[in-house]
Every structure is written in structure tokens, then in C-alpha cells.
Structure 1
Amino acid sequence: MKISPYLFVAVAGASLTLSLAPFDLWWLAIIAMATLAASMNTASAKQGFMLSWCFGSASFATGVSWVYVAMHDFGETPAVLAIPMTAVFCIGLGLVPALFGYCYCRWIRDGIAGKTLGFAAMWVLSEWLRGWVLTGFPWLYLGYGHLHTAMAGWSPIIGVYGLSFWVALSGAALAHCITASPSIKRQGYATLAGCIALFGLGYSLQQHEWTTADAKPPLRIGAVQSNISQERKWAYEQYWATLELYDLASEQLWADSDLVIWPEAAIPALYHNVTSFFDYIAERAAANNSALITGVPTKSDDDMYNSVMVISGGEGIYHKQRLVPFGEYVPLAHYIRGLIKFFDLPMSSFSRGGPDQGHLQVKGWQLAPSICYEVAYPDLVARSARDSDLLFTISNDAWFGHSIGPDQHMQMAQMRALENGRELIRVTSTGITALVDHRGNIRTRIPSFTATNLKGLVHARSGTTPFTRYGSTPIILLCIGLVLCAGFRRRSSPA
């Protein structure tokens, strides 16, 4: 029985999830991309569109299945609606890879260069595009699977998009080695050998220190993981219990912590409605010569922000720039609010923060902040990392429930530490709360779904990696150049 090529690529796309956290079978991504490349060897532009659509939709169906958890378990959407809504979300996201497939088959696929370099470049551009549509959905990038492989040595230079380029190029070269005629297979072997050489060179690059340890003494960190579930977080009857929880938990940290941190939107109220409580907490922190940073919603005129601010021991406030669609703002809100509860979630009308916000300053340290979803944006974090001592991110991952979402989110945060050669503090309400070193390794972690505190040390780093300095611009420009060259060559080739 002949297997439909659409089913074949859908299975390959579904397997991409296994290359990422928490499974980390990184080599599966190369096989999946080889399958996609081979399936489009002779496909028309329309067939390339459909093949890539199946591939992309299947990868999102397995990789972001936690969207159903957010909708059904915490958004109070009945399963009969949550299932098709999740399916529509995954199929809609699959249109971005579908665009890749159409463009590749229509304009790029010509000769060994088009089928390898052009394939990889076009794929990276599709990932990059996905980081911008509707504020972006930068999830499931191929490069994240190489956080702990030899290719990690390249991360401070080329970032996650560069790692994705290597994965796609390796897959395309492998497909060429398997499917091409014997007379031209050697070109595929040469390309694959080059990919293997780059992999090997990564081991050498891992020995290089792009940033250096600062002379500052380490900062003692205390973090509160409240383990307040999403269904209880905004319940009115839980309000005072929440304030008491953070107060009592922090009392265990003040004496031996330079900085105490609470997670995203720790207190379920606008800051100006809770100033008396924060005044009391600031006094407790100051009495112990400690500082406090917390996530808290804030309001300015008619704008409400998802913010993180220094309450004591320093100064600074940061408003989240990249908002989660439907979670923090509702597209087409005028038309769809009120249809189902999921479109009327608490705190789903935030405004975007400005692009030129400064660091948080605590006890002479410069902290580069990001909130939740923002840590998935490589260039946003890289810009903030410049002239900082360390990276800092807070989140409310309770939306993910007991899914693979928190592991994926943590892996992205670790990649940001590696790209920028900075240590990273990550504090969440339910987990994963951890301290990460400048090579992206978790140094200290506390159990998820447990109300407990984290204690540990972080160290300042100075200097910049090439990625911090230039961001994704070089790899994106390279990909644009390769696509234009491949397209021009195909157009100028005789019919």
C-alpha cells in the first residue's frame, strides 16, 4: 500500500517536537527536514504549499498542544470548542511553513545550491516571519534542540536562527544524498561533510569565553514560587491569602538574600490599589538591607501594562512589549469579546510597553528584564542584554498546566543565556524557577508545582558576544541573499 506523501510529511512534522525539550532527540529534526526536502524534490508550487502546510500543522499540533490546556482547563472553554479552536490555531500557524513550501518550489529549488542552501535559508526566513505575525509566535525553532550539543558553541555567534539554518541545511543535504542520481550525489555528500565539520568546530568554539566574570561579588538571590494555580489566581476570595503567602514566604528570605524576587503578576491587583501593602513589604526589605522585584499590573492614564518593578533596594520599572494574543490582548476585540469566556480572561487588555526601556537597577547591578513570552524573542533579549550584568525573566507558566510547555519555555530562556554570555534568573509562579549560568546550563532549580523558595548566587558578566552586538541581522541578511541568488539563478536558467 502506497503511503500518501502528505501523511508522510505530517508524521515527520509531528516528530519535530521530540527534538526539543523535554525529549531532546535533536537528530530527529534533521531527519524530519530531510523528509520534507525529499518530498518537495519534484513537487509543484501548489504541492509544496500543501506538503509544508501538513508538515507545519502537524508540528504545531504536537508541539503546542498546551494551547488546549490553556483554553480548556484555565480559559473555561468547553472541550467541544477548545479542540477545534486548538486545531484551527495549529492549522493557521501551519500557513507560515506553507508559504515557505510554495516559495521554495516556485522560485528557489534549482540545482544543489537551491536545494540545500536555498532550502535552509527559506526555512529560517519562515521562522523569522513567524516571530512577527500578530506580535509573533517564536516557538518550536529548530535550533533550540542544540542547546547542549556541539552546535551550542556557535550560539553566541549566530544565535538560534543560525542553528536552525544548520539543521535545515543538514536535512536538505541528507535528502540530496539519498534521492539524487549517482552522478550528482557527491555534491550532497560534500555539503553534508561541511555540516559535520561545522558540528565538530562547535566543540572548539565551546572552549572560548566571549564574556568575562565581573569583579562584583556574587548577588544572593531569593525567589518565591507561590504555586498558585491559574483558576485560583484571580479569584476574589484568594486575594488576601495571596498577599499573606508572599509576605510569609519572603520573611524566610530577607535575612540572607540581597535580592528577593516574586513572579509575573504576583499580586492580583493593579499596583496603585496595593500601595499600602507594598510600602509595608518595602519596609521589611529595607530593614534587612535587601531588595525586592516583583511582577505587578500597572496603569498609566488609560493604558494598563504587564509590568515588573523594583519595590525596594533600587529603581526601575519595565512594561512588557510583546503581548500574548488572547492572553494579554484580544485581536479584533470589538467583534469577539463576549462570545466565550476565553475571550474575556482577567487582565487581557494590556497595552504594549515602549521599545527603549532601561534596565532594572538593584544594588549597583544592571538587570536586563523580560516578562514571560518575551524571553522567546532572541533580538529583544539581545538588545536588552547590552551593558547589563545579567538577564532576568519572570513568568506565570501556570497556563501550561502539566504539559511540555514549561520545559520548552525554560529551554528558550537557557538559549538566551547562552547567546548573550550572561547568567539568567528565571522566577515563575508554578515552575520552572531556576538560575542559569552563562553557558545555558541550569545551576540551581526548585521542584515545579510546589510552594517553595529558591536560594542561590548569581555572578555578573562583562563584555558582549557577537550575537549580543549584532543580533540576528547577519544570519537573516545571509538568508535573504541566498534566497535572492537562488531565485535569480532559477529565473535566468533556460527552460
Structure 2
Amino acid sequence: MKISPYVFVAIAGASLTLSLAPFNWWWSAIIAMAALSATLNNSTTKQGFLLGWCFGSASFATGVSWVYIAIHDFGGTSTLLAVPMTAIFCIGLGLIPALFAYAYIRWIRAGIAGKTLGFAALWVLTEWLRGWLFTGFPWLYLGYGHLHTAMAGWSPVTGVYGISFWVALSGAAVAQCIVSPATKKRHGITTLGGCIILFGLGYSLQKQEWTSADDRAPLKIGAVQANISQDKKWAYTQYWATLEKYDHASETLWPTSDLVIWPEAAIPALYHNALSYFDYIAERAEANNSALITGVPTRTDDDMFNSVMVISGGDGIYHKQRLVPFGEYVPLGQYIRGLINFFDLPMSSFSRGGPNQNHLHVKGWQLAPSICYEIAYPDLIARSARNSDVLFTISNDAWFGNSIGPDQHMQMAQMRALENGRELIRVTGTGITAIVDHHGNIRTRIPSFIATTMQGEVHARNGSTPFTRFGSTPIIALCAMLAITAGLTRSGRRIKSG
């Protein structure tokens, strides 16, 4: 029985998730891209658009359908509404791969260069587009599956987009080797050989130390993971119990830690409404010569921010810049608030923090801060990493529940550490709470979904990786040049044939 090409690419798209955490079958992404490339190379533009839509919708359905947990379990939305809302979210995101497929067939697909280099370049450009369009959703990038392969050596040079390019190029080359006429298979084999060489070079790049260890003593870290479920977090009846929980959990950390960290929005109240509590906690920290950083909502005039601030032992406050649609702000809120509970979640009226905010200063250390899914933005973190000693991120992954979401989120945080050659501290309310070394490896971690504390240490790093200095600009510029060249080459062939 012959399988429909739409079903075929949907299966391929669904399998793409297997290349990422927690599965880490990195080769499945190459197979998925090979299947997409081979199918698009024998399709019309209209067919291609639908094929790309099937591929993208299926990949997001398997990769990010955990949004259902936020909508249903914690957003108070009925199953009858939560299921179609989740489906609309995944199908809507699938439109971006659909546009990729249409543009590829319409302007790029011609000759071996267009079908390999052009294919890969255009795919990366659409990943990049998805990272900022409508505030961005930089999830499920192909490159993340290579955090622990030889291709990880390229991360400090090209960032995750460069590795995504290699994955897409490898898939396109495999497709050419399988489905091309015998006389043209050698082109696919040559391209695949080039990909293998790049893979091998990754091993050499892994031995390159782009940053150097600072001679300061390590900073001793204590972190509190309170494991307060999202349905109880903002309940007024749980307010005092939450304050007491963080107070008691920190008791054993003050004497042995230079810095104690609480996660995103640890205290479920605006900072100025809990001043007496923070004054009390600051005294406890200072009595032990320890510092404290916590996530807490703040207000300035008419604006409310999702913030992280130094309570004692230093100074600094950071307001989150990249807000989660419907979670931290509601698009067209004046029209849709009140329709369903999900549009009226607690703390869903935040304002965006400004660009170029200062680092957090703690005991002479410069911490580059980010909050929650900001860690998924490569260039945002690269800019913040400059002149910093260590990367620092807090999150509330309780929204993901017991799904693959926290593993994906952690994998992206590890990639940021690797890209920038900096150690990273990550503290969350329910997990994954960990310390990551400058190679992207987890050095210290505590189990998820239990109330516990973590103790460890981080080391400052000097210098910058190429990615920290230049960000994604070089690889995006290269992909744009390759895509334009492929498009002009195709136009030239049309003119000649006409």
C-alpha cells in the first residue's frame, strides 16, 4: 500500500522531537529532514505548502503539546476547549515550515546547490524568523540535538543556528543520495562527505578552550527548590506557608553559601507588598555574610515587571524582556480577557523590561541574568554574557508539569553555556535546578518535583567565544547569501530555458 506523502512527512515531522531531550536520538532529525527534502523535491508549490504544514504541525504536536498542561491543568480551561486551543497553537506554528516549503519550491529548488545548501540555508532563516516573530517561539531548533555530539564543538563558533544548518544540509544530502538519478547521486555523496568532514572538525573544536578560568575562588551557591505546584502558587491561603517554606529551606544554606538563590516569582506578591519579609530575610543573610537573589514581581509607576533582584550582598534588578504570550501578557487583552479563565491567569499583565539592562552584582561577581524562556534566545543571552563572570537564569517550569518541556528547556540552557563558554546557574521552582559547566555539561543537579535544596559552586571565566562577540549575525548572513544565490541561479536558469 502506497503511503500518502502528507502522512509520510507528518510522520517525519513527528519524529523530529526524538532528536531532542529527553530522547536525544540526534540522527532522527537528519532522517526527518531527508524525508522532507525528498518529498518537496517532487512537489508543486501548492503541494509543498501543505506538505510543510503537515511536517511542521506534526513536529510541534509531538514537541510542544505540553502547552495543554498550562491551558487545562493550570489555566482552568475545560478539556473541550483546551484540546482545540492546543491544536490551533501547533497548527498555527506549522504555518512557518509551510512558508519555508513554499518559498523553497518557488524560489530556491534548482540544481544540487539549491537542493542542498539552499534548502539548509532557508530552513535556518525560518528558524531565526520564528525566534522573533510575534515575540518569538525559539523552540525545537534542529541544532539542540547535538549538545553532546561532535557538532557541539561548533556551538561556540556558530551557535545553535550553525548546527541546525548542518542537520538540514545533512538531511538534504541524504535525500539526494537516495532519490536522485544515478548520474547525480555523486553530488549528494560529495555533499554528505562534506558534512562528515564538518562533523569530524567538531571533535577538534571541542578541544579548543575559547575562555579561560579566572583565578578567583569559586562562588559557593545554595538554591531552594520549593516544589510548590502551579495551582497553589498564587492562592492567598498558601501565601504565609510559602514565605515560611523559603525561610526554613534557606536555614541550612546561609552558613555554607556565598549566594542563596530562589526561583522565578518565588514570593507570590509584589516586592513592595512584602517589604517587611524581605527586610527580615536580608538580615538573616547578612548575619551569615551571605547574599540572596530571588525572582519577585515588581511595580514601577504604571508598569508591573517579572523581575529578579539582589536582596542582600550586592545590588541590581533585572526585568524580563521576552514575555510569554497569554502567560505574562495577553495580546488584544481588551477584547479577549474574561472569555475564559486562561486569559485571566494571575500575573498576566506584565510590561517588557528595557534592552541593555545591567548585570546583577554579587560579592564582586557579574551575573548575566535571564528569566524563564528568555534562555531560549541565543542572541539575547550572548549580549548579556559579554563582560560577565557567569550566566544566571531562574524559571518556573511548573507550567510544563511532568512533561518533556523541562528537559527541552534545560537542554537549551546548556546550549547557552556552551555557546558562550560560561558556567550557568539555573534555579527553578519544581526542577530542573542545576549548575552547568562551560562545556554545557550538568555538573550539579537535584531531582525534580521534590522540595529540596542544592549546593555547589561556580567558577568565573574570562574572554569570549566567537559567538559571544558576534552572535548569530555571521551564520544568518551566510544563510541569507546562500538563499539569495540559489534564488538568482534558479532565475537565471529560467531565463536561459525561456
Q: TM-score, normalised by structure 2?
A: 0.99
Distance (Å, rounded) in 2 between the aligned partners of 1:67 and 1:134:
17
Which secondary structure does the structure 2 equivalent of 1:217 belong to?
coil
**Structure 1 SS opposite 2:402:** coil
Kindly provide the CA deviation profile for residues 62-84 of structure 1, in whole angstroms up to 9, marking residues without a partner as x: 00011001111111110111000
Matches within 5 A, 1:52-91: 52-91=52-91
Counterpart of 1:235?
A: 235
Distance (Å, rounded) in 1 between the aligned partners of 2:124 and 2:44: 21
Alignment match, 1:147? 147
Q: Secondary structure at the match of 1:430?
A: coil
The yes-or-no answer on 1:436 pairing with 2:400 is no
What is the distance in 2 between the residues matched to 1:428 and 1:134? 26
Give the aligned residue type for 1:411: Q
Please list every run of 5 or more consecutive structure 2 residues that lacks an aligned counterpart in the other structure.
none
Equivalent residue runs for 1:270-309 within 5 Å? 270-309=270-309
Matched, 1:475 2:497: no
Give me the whole-angstrom Cα distance separating, in 2, the residues matched to 1:390 and 1:48.
45
Is 1:172 matched with 2:172?
Answer: yes
Q: Give a deviation string over 1:128-149, Cα, whole Å, max 9, x none.
A: 0101122100000000000000
- 1:89 Cα deviation from its structure 2 partner: 0.2
Aligned-partner SS, 1:224: strand
| Alpha-carbon shift at residue 354 of structure 1 (Å) | 0.3
Letter in 1 for 2:363: K
Report the AA paired with residue 275 of structure 2. T
The letter for the 2-side match of 1:391 is L
Structure 1 counterpart of 2:485, one-letter code:
C
Aligned to 1:397: 397
- Counterparts in 2 of 1:360-371, with a 5 A limit? 360-371=360-371
- Name the structure 1 match of 2:406: 406
Which amino acid in structure 1 is aligned with residue 43 of structure 2? A
Partner deviation per Cα, 1:244-282 (whole Å, 9 max, x = no partner): 000111111000000000000000000010011001100
Gaps of 5+ in 1: none
Taking the TM superposition and a 5 Å limit, the aligned residue runs for 1:107-146 are 107-146=107-146
SS at match of 2:69: helix
Matched, 1:47 2:35: no
**Which aligned segments of 4 or more residues in structure 1 are displaced greater than 6 angstroms?**
none
SS in 2 for 1:274: helix
- Letter of the 2:62 partner, please give it: T
Work out the CA distance in 2 between the residues paired with 1:168 and 1:19: 13
Post-superposition Cα deviations, 1:312-351, rounded to whole Å, max 9, x if no partner, equal 0000000000000100011111111101000000000000
Amino acid paired to 1:81:
L
Q: Aligned AA for 1:104?
A: Y
Q: Distance in 2 between matches of 1:344 and 1:133?
A: 24
Distance in 1 between residues matched to 2:267 and 2:30, nearest whole Å:
44
The equivalent of 1:252 in structure 2 is 252
1:327: which partner in 2? 327
**CA apart distance, 1:48:** 1.1
User: How far apart are the structure 1 equivalents of 2:483 and 2:309?
Assistant: 43
Letter in 1 for 2:347: M
Match of residue 372 from structure 2: 372
Residue 216 of structure 1, CA deviation? 1.0
DSSP-derived class of the 1:296 partner = strand
Q: What are the superposed Cα offsets for residues 220-267 of structure 1, whole Å, 9 maximum, x if unpaired?
A: 000000000000000000000000000111111000000000000000
Q: Percent identity?
A: 78
Once residues 277 and 31 of structure 1 are traced to their aligned partners in structure 2, the CA distance between those partners, rounded to angstroms, is 55
C-alpha distance in 2, partners of 1:319/1:473? Answer: 25
Give the deviation of 1:47 after TM superposition: 1.1
Given residue 431 of structure 2, which amino acid in structure 1 is its aligned partner?
G
Equivalence for 1:14: 14
Partner of residue 99, structure 1: 99
Task: Report what 1:484 is aligned to.
Answer: 484
Deviation readout 1:116-169 (Å, 9 max, x if unpaired): 000000000110010112210000000000000000000000000000000000
| Aligned-partner SS, 1:182 | coil
Aligned partner letter, 1:268:
P
1:42: Cα distance to partner?
2.2
Task: String of CA shifts for 1:170-193, please: whole Å, max 9, x gaps.
Answer: 000000010111111101100000
Give the distance between the partners of 1:49 and 1:477, measured in 2 at CA: 25
Counterparts of 1:282 and 1:226, CA distance in 2: 19
* AA partner of residue 220 (structure 1): K
Please state whether the residue corresponding to 2:425 is helix, strand or coil.
Answer: strand
* Secondary structure of the structure 2 residue equivalent to 1:323: coil
The residue aligned with 2:203 is 203
Cα distance, 1:492 vs. partner? 1.2
Paired residue secondary structure (1:392): strand
2:37 is matched with: 37
How many Å separate the matches in 2 of 1:23 and 1:154? 22
Q: Which residue of 1 aligns with 2:314?
A: 314
Query: What SS does the corresponding residue of 2:432 show, helix, strand or coil?
Result: coil
SS in 2 for 1:80: helix
User: Which residue in 2 is equivalent to 1:193?
Assistant: 193
Partners of 1:103 and 1:230 lie apart in 2 by: 42
Please tell me the residue identity of whatever aligns with 2:482: L
Matches of 1:350 and 1:44, distance apart in 2: 45
Once residues 352 and 36 of structure 2 are traced to their aligned partners in structure 1, the CA distance between those partners, rounded to angstroms, is 37
Q: Give per-residue Cα distances to partners, 1:358-416, cap 9 Å, x unaligned.
A: 10000000000000010000000000000000000000000000000000000000000
Deviation at 1:356, TM superposition (A): 1.2
Secondary structure of the 1:491 match is helix
For 2:49 and 2:404, how far apart are their aligned partners in 1?
29
Supply the AA of the counterpart residue of 2:322: R
Is 1:27 the counterpart of 2:27? The answer is: yes
Aligned residue identity for 2:425: I
Q: Which residue matches 1:354?
A: 354
CA distance in 1, matches of 2:275, 2:107: 59
> Could you tell me how far apart the structure 2 residues matched to 1:121 and 1:332 are?
34
Deviations 1:206-225 (A, max 9, x none): 11100000011000000000
Q: Which amino acid aligns with 1:144?
A: Y
2: distance between equivalents of 1:183 and 1:356?
Answer: 54
